[in-house]
Amino acid sequence: MLKAKVNRRAFAEANGYVRGAHEGFPIDSIGKIGKPNCAERPNVVLLLAGTYDVVFNVNLKDAPNTLSHIIDDFLLVCPDAVVLVGTLIPLLDENHEARRISFNAALTGGVIEQRIRMGKHVLLVDMGRVTREFIDPADGIHPVDEGYKLIAEAWYEAIVAAGRKGWIGPYS
């Protein structure tokens, strides 16, 4: 059981992080950015990807397939890792929100289920607890602090669930 408590705001401020400090990345770029981290052989990978693609309508038809390749790449390099894939949180713009709903449906119905049937240690993390009220109206995309707390709780619960399944081995 995880016992450590992390204060996100204190950590972020101490390390110079500012919400919205970069423009974001499309899914295919996330795969390229994340691969160097696989050299560390993580035992848990948290993947929340697709918001950029949904908001900017970037190659949405292929986005779920691209994400599935990223998951497979992580599992190829880190076969003992569990990959936790989060659903996208609400977006305040109606067009963005419609695309988000379609993207999340593709995650649930295809990307994750296929990997589970293949015996891969992949779980879908439902971020549904983050509702519209927890989205910052200033940009309609990012959560407010309470929304980030809810995201952290969802990740934590998924890590615990994966641990109970015996999927999380020692960090190597």
Please name each of the domains of the chain with its CATH number.
25-164 (3.40.50.1110)
Residues 6+ apart with CB under 8 A from 102: 60
How far apart CA 171 and CA 130 sit, in angstroms, is 30
Confidence label for 4 from pLDDT (cuts 50, 70 and 90): very low
How far apart CA 91 and CA 52 sit, in angstroms, is 11
pLDDT digits (tens, 9 = 90+) for 115-141: 999 999 999 999 999 999 999 999 999
